């Protein structure tokens, strides 16, 4: 099997932290990168969900933003109303 060299530039902190994690698993960075790339080939894509800093996928965040915009539109148009207290909300729900 022919082998090739891959050079990657990355943040020093990321390299150090990833190295610690992989070392605790008994492997070095090169092995971790090879495992990742082999999984990319096997899965024909990224082998895990890519999440935002909030812990959601981009699609989930886009959907939440659409829902927020729709609720705001309904509120601004008067089709939905807000409540100042939980008691007011509770009374409305019991109607």
Q: What secondary structure, in 3-state letters, does 41-62 show?
A: HHHCCCCCCCCCCCCCCHHHHH
Q: What is the pLDDT of residues 38-86, one digit of tens each?
A: 999 999 999 999 999 999 999 999 999 999 999 999 999 999 888 999 9
What pLDDT sits at residue 95? 84
| Distance of alpha carbon 89 from alpha carbon 25, whole angstroms | 51
What pLDDT sits at residue 40? 98
pTM: 0.60
Q: If DSSP codes are grouped into helix, strand and coil, which group holds residue 92? A: helix
What pLDDT sits at residue 15? 97
Q: What is the pLDDT of residues 18-28, one digit of tens each?
A: 999 999 999 99
Domain ranges of the chain: 1-48, 49-95
What pLDDT sits at residue 1? 86
Tell me if 36 sits within 8 A of 44, measured CB to CB: no
Note the maximum CA span of the chain.
73
């Amino acid at each position: 099997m022919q082998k090739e060299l891959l050079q990657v530039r990355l943040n020093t902190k990321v390299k150090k932290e990833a190295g610690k994690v992989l070392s605790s698993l008994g492997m070095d960075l090169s092995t971790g990168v090879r495992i990742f790339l082999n999984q990319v080939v096997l899965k024909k894509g990224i082998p895990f969900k890519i999440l935002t800093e909030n812990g959601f996928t981009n699609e989930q965040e886009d959907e939440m933003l659409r829902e927020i915009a729709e609720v705001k539109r309904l509120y601004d148009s008067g089709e939905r109303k807000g409540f100042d207290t939980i008691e007011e909300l509770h009374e409305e729900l019991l109607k």
